Each structure stands twice: as structure tokens, then as C-alpha cells.
A = this chain, B = another copy of it.
Amino acid sequence: MASSATPPVPTSKVLVIGAGAVGAFYGSLLAQVGAEVSVVCRSDYEQVKQHDFIINSQALGRWSFTPANVLKEVADFKGTADYILLCTKVIPALNRIALIRPAVGRNTSIVFIQNGVEIEQEMQDAFPNNEVVSGLAFICCNRLGPGEILHLAYGRLALGNLPSGVSRKTARLCELFNQAGIDCGTSEDIVSGRWQKCVWNAPFNPLSVLSGGLLTLDILQTQESLVRSIMQEVCDIAAASGHPLPDDIVNINIDNTYAMPPYKTSMLLDYENGQPMETEAILGNALRAAQRLGIAAPHLESVYALMKLRELKLGN
């Protein structure tokens, strides 16, 4: 006789790697809804080990987050993670594959919540027998100090398996986020979502840095034409790579940016804090795709070259 009772859902074991603002925020929410969440945090290890994370969210209130385990190194993780949540920046100095490998078990789903385009293939190649899930976060949050996170606005997530589709485990993770109060959706074609996010990131991130620190609204009000040109080039590259974006995507991005409060981009925050910027993940990868596919992208090319000069100067 069939039982009508739902079988108990086993506790999900989650390992967050790169517990900066984004990782700590999303990890703490999964812990709130019952997941067993461990974190690897190198620079803030002592603070978090002794005093937990403190999350201040303008929308969700203030809470502290005590991870199941606070680890200095990925190799220190014991047991098997159902999900690795990789939340580092994507920068050339950091080998994402080598970083996570010690914690990847047979049944581990690798979820990366990161910026950039064309950052998928190397993960699929490195872990061909694991589920690899690409995640996009639409969030504004900052690390104020060791273990202290400020969530300013937004928070929406999109998740989807690579190369495409949505697995049962991905759907389950999405459900957990929604239980925790986060608007999380799944996408059968997350790679298109990644290009779509790049439409906004490719102009505003570098222009905020190269201008010397302008907010989004100032950039848009004075140089909308350059912003549109870069956006259109990203759309052209996305289409050529098999991920055509909606026809009105540039207009929507422009309108939304006019409507939202003036915003300091993540690249500008990195720049001001002397941190490496995601120039290669966002601009370099898009431009290399353009070159591979034979798409002209002269505005993107100019902005990328200027960012490389800026980085060269910073390295001096």
C-alpha cells in the first residue's frame, strides 16, 4: 500500500569556497533553512572561527551565521559535500579547478556563483563526471570587514546545469534558496543568462573604473551612446556563439539602469580597495569569443585595452 507521507529530505551538505560577501550571504541563507554549511575562508578565518559571520541586510534584517565548519583550506574539509558553492572572483591568478578539486567527491554538484562569460568549459572539462551548475547572482553586497557583510539590495539568483538543462539536485538547491526568502529561478540555458548579465557588466564595470569612480547614472547620462555600443557588441558576440539574446535587451538594460539608484560597480569597489578586477572574466573572455567568431567589437576592444593599461599602471 502506497504511503502518502513525503519521504524526509536529507540534510544538504554545502561547502562554500570563497566566503566573501556573496558566499557568506548565500551560505548563511542555506543554513537558515537547515542545510549543513561549511565555509572556507582564508583571510577572515580567525574572526569567523571565533565570532561567526555577521550579516546586515537592509531587506532581511540582521543575523549571525555560525558555519558547521570554518576551514582555512579546501583540503581541510572532511566528508562529502552535496554542493560546492564556489563564490570567488574569477581572476587569472586563481586556478578555480585546483582550488576546489580536494573537496569534489563522486556525488558533489559543483555550483559556481561567479561573474564573466565563457568560464564554463574549463569546469566541465575538469569534472566530466560531476554535475556542474552555473549560477548568476543579481545582488549588491559588500564585505565591510572581517566576517562582516552588508547586503544592500537585490539578491536574485539563477541556476542551471552545464552545458544546459536543470537537474533534480539543482532544482532542490533552488527550492532551498526560495525557502530562505531569495528569489531563485532555474534556467534551461544558463549560458545565455551569463551573456545577458555581461550586457550590463561589460560597459558599466570598466567605465566606472576608467572614469575614476563615476556611478552608473552619471555614466549613462553623459555617455549613453558608448554604453549602448558596448552592449550591442556583447549581444552580437552572444548571438554568434549560439546564444541570441532578446531583441530589446539593450533598451531594457538602459531603462533599468536609469530607474535604479546610482550604483557603484563591483569592479570599481575592487579598484578602490586595491583588489584584482575581473577584467579578463568579463571583458577579455567576451573579446576572445568575438575574435574567435569573427565579430567586430571595437568599443569593447578599446575599453578592454584601457583596462589592461590601467592594470599595468596599478602593478607599477
Chain A: residues with CB nearer than 8 A to chain B? 207, 210-214, 218-219, 222-223, 225-226, 229, 298-299, 301-303, 305-306, 308-310, 312-314
User: Are B218 and A301 closer than 8 Å at their CB atoms?
Assistant: no
Q: A214-B312, A229-B302 are in contact. List 11 more A-B contacts (CB 8 A).
A: A207-B309, A211-B313, A213-B313, A218-B313, A223-B305, A226-B302, A298-B298, A298-B299, A299-B299, A302-B303, A306-B306
4 A-B pairs with least C-beta separation = A302-B302, A211-B309, A298-B298, A226-B305
Check B306–A229 contact: CB distance below 8 A.
Answer: no
Which residues of chain B come closer than 8 Å to A212, judged between CB atoms?
309-310, 313-314
Cβ contacts under 8 Å, A222 to chain B: 308-309, 312
Q: In the complex, which residues of chain B have a beta carbon less than 8 angstroms from the beta carbon of A309?
A: 207, 210-212, 214, 218-219, 222-223
Q: Can you name 29 A-B pairs with beta carbons within 8 Å?
A: A207-B306, A207-B309, A210-B309, A210-B310, A211-B309, A211-B313, A212-B309, A212-B310, A212-B313, A212-B314, A214-B309, A214-B313, A218-B309, A218-B313, A219-B309, A222-B309, A223-B306, A223-B308, A223-B309, A226-B302, A226-B305, A226-B306, A229-B298, A229-B301, A229-B302, A298-B298, A298-B302, A302-B303, A306-B306
Bound-complex Cα distance A298 to B211 (A): 18
A182 to B298, CA, bound (A): 41
The residue in chain B whose Cβ has the minimal distance to the Cβ of A296 is: B298
Residues of chain B within 8 A (CB-CB) of A303 are: 302, 306
Choose one: B299, B302, B312, B314; the contact of A218 (CB below 8 Å): B312
Query: How far apart sit A119 and B197, CA to CA, in the bound complex (Å)?
Result: 43
Kindly list chain B residues whose C-beta atoms are within 8 Å of the C-beta of A306.
207, 210-211, 223, 226, 303, 306
